[in-house]
Amino acid sequence: MWAYIARRSIQALFTLLIITVLCFILTRLSADPLAQYATNPNMTAADREALRERLGLNQPMPLQYFKWLGLAVQGDLGISFFSKQPVLLMISQRLPNTLKLMVTAEIITILLSLFLGIVSAIKQYSLLDNIISTLSFIGFSMPIFFIALGAMLIFAVQFKAWGLPYLPTGADIWNTKDPVALIQHMILPVSCLVIITTAGYARFIRTSILEVLGLDYIRTARAKGLNNRTVFFKHALRNAALPLVTIIGLDIPYLLGGALVTESVFAWPGMGRLFWEYAQRGDFPVVLGILLIISTAVVVFTIITDIVYTFVDPRIRLS
Amino acid sequence: MSSESAVPDIAILNAETTAPPLTPRQLIMRRFRKHHLALWGVVGFILISAFILIGSILVNNTRANEVDLQARLSPPSQAHWMGTDSTGRDIFARMIHGGQISLIVGFLAVAISVSLGTIIGGFAAYYGGWVDIILMRFTEAMLSIPALFLLIVLGKYLGRDVQTIIVFGQSYSGSVGIVIVVIGVTSWMYLARIVRANVLSLRELDYISASRSLGASNMRIFFRHLVPNTMGAIIVSSTLGLAGAILNEAYVSFLGLGVQPPTASWGNMLTSAQSFIQRGAWWMWVFPSLFIIITILCINLVGDGLRDAFDPRSNRHI
Amino acid sequence: MKKNFYVLISLIALASMVLAACGAKPTEAPAVVVTEAPVVTGPGGSISFPEGGKSVTGAWTQEPDNIAPYYTQMSYAIWIAQLTSVGLAEWDDQGKFVAELAAEVPTAENGGVSADGLTITWKLKPSLKWSDGEPLTSADVKFTWESVMDPKNVPMSKTGYDKIASIDTPDDTTVVIKFSELYPPWQTVFTQGPNNQGSILPKHILQGKTGLEKDPFIHWPTIASGPFVITEWVPGDYMTLLPNPNFYAGRPKLDRIQIKFVPTPETALAALQTGDIDWYPDFSEGDIVTVGALEPAVHLLVKPGFDFEHYFFNLGTTAGVDGKGKADVDGFCPFKDIKVRKAITLGINRQAFVDSLLDGKTTVPATQWPNSSWTNASLKPDAYDAAAAEALLDEAGYKKGADGIRAGKCDGKDVKLSFTFDTTDKQLRVDIALAVQSDLAKIGIEFKPTHTPGGTFFAGYTDGGVMPTGKFQMAGYTTGFYPDPMTGVMDSFSCENVPSKDKPAGANNYLLCDPKLDEMMAAVNASADPAVRKTALDALQKYIFDQYYVVMMYARANVYGYTDRFVPAPFGFASNMDWNAELWDVK
């Protein structure tokens, strides 16, 4: 088992190396960090050249990559070209905000989808099942930008205009460490995220519960005389929830990346916005720093998930 | 049943006991029909497809790009059934054209991602060893690379060389091809893992080793036996993948990285609608949003129905 | 066997990482970041925001990179710099040059400008102080020049400062600047405005430091010479500014200004409607009607400016002219014929899209100096004339083919009038390009717009940008030449600035080399006398106009939205909204 983890860790390092190379190439090719200075007539050609040299942007690409890599393995993610701040500092300032949003949304999604999944599994094809399914599928089918923008315009702008109790737009000045303000500002973005992801999880839970309910040992338990409730909660649910755990494990890395559109619509100072704004500027220290963190999380959680598989289903052997 | 038969009961009994059991396909169809929502999904999808296909025949694509500054931002009327946009183009025509894009991108992207997912996941499981390790690590790497990046880079390099593609006399922006490839190439990972899990358990079965000992080549075993037995997962994944691809296209076009103007796509119609929401031009965003949601909803319902239908253990009532 | 293999691989991986780590220098910058708020001291101790005090909040759609002058080119940073720093003089809302830190503006009459124009003497007001109480003297002015010219610093621009031969400071309030050659735009040196960053840096803070472009003080100046000091900056979120009690014009009326960083103008619009923010300075011209519809709760201000949107042709030649201005690739051949350029200009109905897409809120300018006293008033933009355009194209030898697109011969080769147009993906640009495409299709020209995000479109030569590498045919963007009329003009039009592999940093995006044009540009800076310069500039404008080198699309306007409770002070475009923030108030 430890040998397996060691092997996977070494493979993980290679994967990360390749990911960073690919992302570096993609970032450098997509935007020029000095593009923002292109049309200002105040900067002469000599000024731009001096800046390019100072930032090390006129060196050959492989050299720029290895310089970045050398510092990254020491834990120094470099300095952003644009904001002149250390990348690690910028990320550590934004990450808690994103986690507050995404973890809350994930927890609410899991609880809500467990409830909906169980109800629709028990009452399969009934009217209740159909109503729940329809509503959750409508939510699932909405593009995030539609629901986020709509929610913001209706519940924040219009409600205030109509004199109703309203929620903040997010564009007001508030302290992310103040619990009351935090909850007020989280209501809309979290709701949007929950609406679009709940249906997916709920259907998955429903399917795996139905699968388990059809198995022989459930029939045996019922034949033994156990009532439905005991059968359900003691046996079925436990086994049905395990696949859900692995799905959650695979989704966790993306909680770090934040939700780009949601953070943009609600002016949330998080990682998604950081990534999007700096990617457009071609600021590769920041972008690579974020991607490195996310890829590390993806790789680590994949290993964890694969190990959990073996505990869940002893038939699967670690190769 | 013959009314002249002297002993009809025995005949019926005989018929029932000797009648062939329902084929798997018939079983699946029967289970599918029980899922009422899925049936509504089928109806909805057929209606929207009809709108797009018939519309494409009746309304030429050039109508979707006719600029008419005088008529800009007009509400739905006799002349323009769904109103006009910021440069006076007819939104009804653009909805049809955008629908073409959604369907084309959806189907082609799904075709690419399903093929890639099946082959990569299947080969990884079937061959095992180094092949498995390399392919699975490659899968993880792809999970970490954001599709948005690929779109920016490919758009920058290929967007100018491939200006327009002409298909069936209609011209589309080259960015449509780029969007198809990028969505296809970044959505296969989940299916790969599922196919791999399936094939892992299938390959140990007796009839596979029997085939091998009979001298069947690896390719034959793979495509003739393993893949068809994973068909359930593949079909369900394709349907949900279609919905995902259409949603993805709307998302990236909305961000400005997908289908480039002037080619209409429901997603990029919403980008321009954004600036005019507060000006009261509701028709600019209501129609594309409604169509996106309904299309994806219908496909998702059908996919859900298929998932129930293919799962033999999900029928407590049959 | 397998185990050995893994051991080997891991050793190799470890080795390569160690090698890379050894090779890399640790980041040079002092990674110290100011995390606590600087203290603002004044008479009576430190300043804080009193309960119920007067506060306004603005929305910025981009977060600034650096605030201190000389180290940023972002408008959003410069607008904050106008709140925290001042220069010797500035342009007011009427466009007049007025004194700020100086006692009066140097002129020939008061002896401030020497007879030969090479020596400018500024006299500062007495008893000037920084916000931390330290005196602001002529030594700070001299230090500013020295630090800009220090080769160990990389400021954004040294233009003008590199023409100074020496600065003498006979006493604390006198600054004698000696230029090495006649520099007519001397008013842009040590003055602060929306397009020039020339205010004073504090010697007592920055003395002895180099590599200032990475210095924390340059990123977040903790003391100010202007009306406000930045006391709080939560990255990615918001910024707080408190009044500077030592400001030379007295304590500002407001008790606090806050700036919230929002992602899009739509968010800013929503926030204006709910009153979460008080003003947003950067709406697009297409939003004018939307913001105007929000009266009386939200007010709209439209200030036509010096910036203009233009479309232009790739006029590059690999041969150059007289051996100068060689581009990497040749431009689109038909554009060499002035008749084709004129036909395209006449064939675009510019007034129509100004009336419809811009709701008639701005104008089509004739020259590159719109809305300013430097404009050549005798030139009027050509009216739309499709018939004349078609006649010109026929004359030039391009006849309409079966597909409706004109074709003919250029330099002996067959060519169709079908070409690409590159610009960014802003919604307004997309819409206008569509209107142009439709107009040009009517006269038989196929115009193919391509839109790329700004970071890609404006990429430099080494990053494969379409303009410097000459890979475009027509392109379009916004620029402007102010506060001095010749700011950046030479860089944009002269032969020696044509970008190529020998000169990758060249900024002449038109790839144009016209020796006569170079001569006329030099003539504008040959004298310091404004009247002489105006005559030369008029001639330059007429020449560019007659040659049809660029198609002037529309004059850009700055569009502001602000809530009713906010009372800004009067401003013009040359001075921009933040120039006199000490006068802002709330109802």
CA angle B183, B189, B195 (to 5 degrees): 130
Short-list C104, C110, C97, C114, CA closest to C168: C114
CA distance B73 to chain C (A): 10
Give Cα separations from A126 to A120, A121, A200, B37, C581 (angstroms): 8, 10, 20, 11, 66
Mean pLDDT confidence for A2-8: 83
- Per-residue burial over B126-154, b if 16 or more Cβ lie within 10 Å, else e, is beeeeebbebbbbbbbbbbbbbbbbbbbb
Give Cα separations from B202 to B217, C302, C311 (angstroms): 17, 70, 63
pLDDT score, position C111:
85
Q: What residues of chain C, 66 to 105, have a C-beta less than 8 Å from chain A?
A: 66, 73-74
pTM above 0.90?
A: no
Tens of pLDDT, residue by residue over A37-76, are: 777 777 777 788 888 888 888 788 888 888 888 888 888 8
Interchain proximity C26–A74, CB inside 8 Å: yes
Mean pLDDT confidence for C95-100: 87
Mean pLDDT confidence for B168-189: 83
Q: DSSP code of B288?
A: H
CA distance C399 to chain B (A): 24
Query: How does residue A312 score in pLDDT terms, banded at 50, 70 and 90?
Result: low
Of these ranges, B218-232, C67-81, C163-177, the one predicted with the greatest mean pLDDT is: C163-177
Mean pLDDT confidence for A166-191: 88
Contact B48, B298 (CB under 8 A): yes
Mean pLDDT confidence for C264-287: 89
Mean pLDDT confidence for A179-186: 91
Task: List, in sequence order, every residue forming a beta bridge with C90; answer none if it has no partner.
Answer: C98
Cis upstream peptide for C296 (omega within 30°): yes
Interchain proximity B160–C420, CB inside 8 Å: yes
Interchain proximity B148–A22, CB inside 8 Å: no
Task: Name which of B191-200, C60-69, C424-433, C538-547 the model is least confident about.
Answer: B191-200
First to last CA, chain C: 82
Mean pLDDT confidence for B298-315: 76
Query: What percent of the residues of chain C are helix, what percent strand, and what percent coil, each to the nearest 5?
Result: 30, 20, 45
Of the residues A130, A133, A134, A141, the best mutation for testing chain B's interface (the one with the most B CB atoms within 10 Å of its CB) is: A141
Interchain proximity C427–B86, CB inside 8 Å: yes
- Cβ of B260 under 8 Å from any chain C Cβ? yes
Q: Is B99 helix (H, G, I), strand (E, B) or coil?
A: helix
Interchain proximity C456–B67, CB inside 8 Å: no
Interchain proximity C455–A93, CB inside 8 Å: no
Q: Is the pLDDT of residue B1 over 50?
A: no
Q: What residues of chain C, 107 to 166, have a C-beta less than 8 Å from chain A?
A: 154-159
Short-list B266, B308, B310, CA closest to B289: B266
Interchain proximity A83–C154, CB inside 8 Å: no
C474-479: strand order across its sheet = C228-234, C238-243, C256-261, C55-60, C279-283, C550-563, C298-313, C474-479, C418-424, C446-452
Q: Is the pLDDT of residue A222 over 80?
A: no
pLDDT score, position B225:
73
Question: Please, what is the angle between helix A284-312 and helix A2-30, to 10°?
Answer: 150
Task: Kindly give the residue spans of alpha helices, DSSP state H, lying in B261-317.
Answer: 266-274, 283-310
- Cβ of B137 under 8 Å from any chain A Cβ? yes
Chain B residues within 8 A of C284 when measuring between CB atoms? 275
Query: How does residue B318 score in pLDDT terms, banded at 50, 70 and 90?
Result: very low
With a CB cutoff of 8 Å and minimum separation 6, the contacts of C4 are: none
Q: Is the pLDDT of residue B312 over 70?
A: no
Tokens for A67, please give them. 């310089």
Q: Is the pLDDT of residue C44 over 60?
A: no
Short-list C36, C374, C25, B218, CA closest to A79: C25
pLDDT above 90 as % of chain C: 49
Of the residues C49, C276, C312, the best mutation for testing chain A's interface (the one with the most A CB atoms within 10 Å of its CB) is: C276
Tens of pLDDT, residue by residue over C212-240, are: 888 889 889 999 999 999 999 998 899 99
Using CB atoms, pick whichever of C356, C357, C450 lies closest to residue B159: C450
Neighbours of chain B (3+ CB pairs under 8 A): A, C
Chain B residues within 8 A of C453 when measuring between CB atoms? 152, 256-257
Chain C residues within 8 A of B86 when measuring between CB atoms? 286, 357, 427, 431
Of the residues A13, A14, A24, A85, the best mutation for testing chain C's interface (the one with the most C CB atoms within 10 Å of its CB) is: A85
Mean pLDDT confidence for A130-147: 85
Query: How does residue C32 score in pLDDT terms, banded at 50, 70 and 90?
Result: very low
Chain C residues within 8 A of A94 when measuring between CB atoms? 235-236
- Cβ of C454 under 8 Å from any chain A Cβ? yes
pLDDT score, position C337:
93
Question: Please, what is the angle between helix C338-347 and helix C386-395, to 10°?
Answer: 160
Short-list B246, B257, B256, B260, CA closest to B288: B246
Tens of pLDDT, residue by residue over C350-383, are: 999 899 888 888 899 999 998 888 899 999 999 9
How high is the mean pLDDT of chain C?
Answer: 87
Chain A residues within 8 A of B316 when measuring between CB atoms? 124, 210, 213-214
Phi-psi category of residue A78: left, alpha or beta, with phi > 0 → left and psi -120 to 50 → alpha? left
Tens of pLDDT, residue by residue over C323-347, are: 888 899 999 999 999 999 999 999 9
Contact C263, A260 (CB under 8 A): no
- Strand duo C256-261 + C55-60: pairing: parallel
Query: How does residue A317 score in pLDDT terms, banded at 50, 70 and 90?
Result: low
C143 vs C205: CA distance, rounded Å:
11
Q: Is the pLDDT of residue C22 over 60?
A: no
- Per-residue burial over C390-428, b if 16 or more Cβ lie within 10 Å, else e, is bebbbebebebeeeeebbbebeeeebbbbbbbbbbbbbb
Short-list A144, A97, A148, A19, CA closest to A271: A97
pLDDT score, position A200:
79
Interchain proximity C24–A176, CB inside 8 Å: no
Interchain proximity C425–B256, CB inside 8 Å: yes
Mean pLDDT confidence for C283-305: 87
Q: Is the pLDDT of residue B4 over 50?
A: no
C24 vs C12: CA distance, rounded Å:
19
Interchain proximity C453–B256, CB inside 8 Å: yes
B298 vs B103: CA distance, rounded Å:
13
Burial class (CB in 10 A: 0-12, 13-18, 19+), A58: middle
- Cβ of C269 under 8 Å from any chain B Cβ? yes
User: Which amino acid, B62?
Assistant: T
Residue predicted with more confidence, C331 or C38: C331
- Cβ of C205 under 8 Å from any chain B Cβ? no
Contact A144, A261 (CB under 8 A): yes
C475 vs B68: CA distance, rounded Å:
23
Q: Is the pLDDT of residue C280 over 90?
A: yes
Mean pLDDT confidence for B161-171: 68
List the single residue in C with minimal CA-CA distance to B164. C448
- Cβ of C65 under 8 Å from any chain A Cβ? yes
C65 vs C76: CA distance, rounded Å:
9
Q: Is the pLDDT of residue A182 over 50?
A: yes
Burial class (CB in 10 A: 0-12, 13-18, 19+), C212: buried
Task: For the beta carbon of residue B246, count every other beta carbon within 10 angstroms.
Answer: 27
Short-list C172, C70, C166, CA closest to C120: C166
pLDDT score, position B161:
64
Using CB atoms, pick whichever of A15, A210, A302 lies closest to residue B313: A210
pLDDT above 70 as % of chain B: 88
Contact C142, C206 (CB under 8 A): no
Q: Is the pLDDT of residue B314 over 70?
A: no
- Cβ of C489 under 8 Å from any chain A Cβ? yes
Task: Kindly give the residue spans of alpha helices, DSSP state H, lying in C396-450.
Answer: 427-442
Tens of pLDDT, residue by residue over B245-278, are: 998 899 888 888 888 877 889 998 998 888 788 7
Tens of pLDDT, residue by residue over C388-420, are: 999 999 999 999 988 889 999 998 899 999 999
Q: Is C310 helix (H, G, I), strand (E, B) or coil?
A: strand
Phi-psi category of residue C303: left, alpha or beta, with phi > 0 → left and psi -120 to 50 → alpha? beta
Interchain proximity A71–C27, CB inside 8 Å: yes
pLDDT score, position C14:
58
pLDDT score, position C19:
55
Chain C residues within 8 A of B271 when measuring between CB atoms? 427
pLDDT score, position C351:
94
Residue predicted with more confidence, B218 or C88: C88
CA distance C427 to chain B (A): 6
Interchain proximity A41–C489, CB inside 8 Å: yes
List the single residue in B with minimal CA-CA distance to C269. B278
B271 vs B263: CA distance, rounded Å:
13
Using CB atoms, pick whichever of A15, A261, A319 lies closest to residue B140: A15
Longest dimension (CA), chain B: 84
Token pair 């041969």 is at which residue? Answer: C319
Interchain proximity A31–B152, CB inside 8 Å: yes
CA distance A177 to chain B (A): 30
CA distance C411 to chain B (A): 24
Task: List, in sequence order, every residue forming a beta bridge with B165; answer none if it has no partner.
Answer: B172
Short-list C315, C268, C327, CA closest to C549: C315
Task: List, in sequence order, every residue forming a beta bridge with C566; answer none if it has no partner.
Answer: C586
Interchain proximity C263–A265, CB inside 8 Å: yes
pLDDT score, position C260:
94
Interchain proximity C293–B279, CB inside 8 Å: yes
Mean pLDDT confidence for B217-224: 75
Using CB atoms, pick whichever of A15, A30, A319 lies closest to residue B141: A15
User: Which amino acid, B314?
Assistant: S
